[in-house]
Amino acid sequence: MNMVTCDRCSKLFGSPGPRICPACSKELDAIYKRAREYLRDHDRERLNVRELAEAIGEEAADLDLLVSMGRLRLFDEDDGVTASGDREKLLQDFQKSLNKGKGSQKGQSSSLYVAERYRKKD
């Protein structure tokens, strides 16, 4: 078991994995529940970390930590693009490339199969 420093409170503790101590982990779980409930109740609002922190009465640093852990995805202050929006675009691009590849491979594999099967033997 490695000794690590908690990313939230800077206390030293033993952990094989996460860099958040058990006490801070419990507090972050409670903050996550409040943030999730607020976002669920106000699903039409486009909030960044600072705005959500003000709305639920928590520190923005704690919400930043939840975002960096991948537990929350919020709008970016700079351009308003969400990580999930980027993910959707990547998925669509990937699906298009799969569809393009599917059509070209289908024709190629069948023509290769036919060519190999009926090739003249000398």
> Per-residue pLDDT tens for 51-91?
999 999 999 999 999 988 888 887 655 544 455 567 778 88
- In a shared domain, residues 121 and 99: yes
pTM here is 0.59
> The domain containing residue 109 runs over which residues?
82-122
For residues 102-116, average pLDDT: 57
Identify whether residues 73 and 108 lie together within a single domain.
Answer: no
Element (H, E) at 12: strand 12-15
- Show the tokens assigned to 115: 């060519």
Tens digits of per-residue pLDDT, 1-24?
Answer: 789 999 999 999 998 888 899 999
Tokens of 72: 């929350």
Same domain, 59 and 94: no
pLDDT at 118 over 90: no
Strand-pairing partners, residue 33, are none
Same domain, 74 and 94: no
Do 64 and 24 reside in the same domain of the chain?
yes
Query: DSSP letters of 50-105?
Result: HHHHHHHT--HHHHHHHHHTTS-----TTT---HHHHHHHHHHHHHHHHHHHHHHH
Asked if residue 52 and residue 62 are part of one domain, the reply reads: yes
Both 72 and 118 in a single domain?
Answer: no
Number of domains composing the chain:
2
**Cα distances (Å, whole numbers) of residue 22 to 5, 9, 83:** 12, 11, 28
Same domain, 75 and 115: no
Q: Are residues 72 and 86 in the same domain?
A: no
36 and 88 part of one domain: no
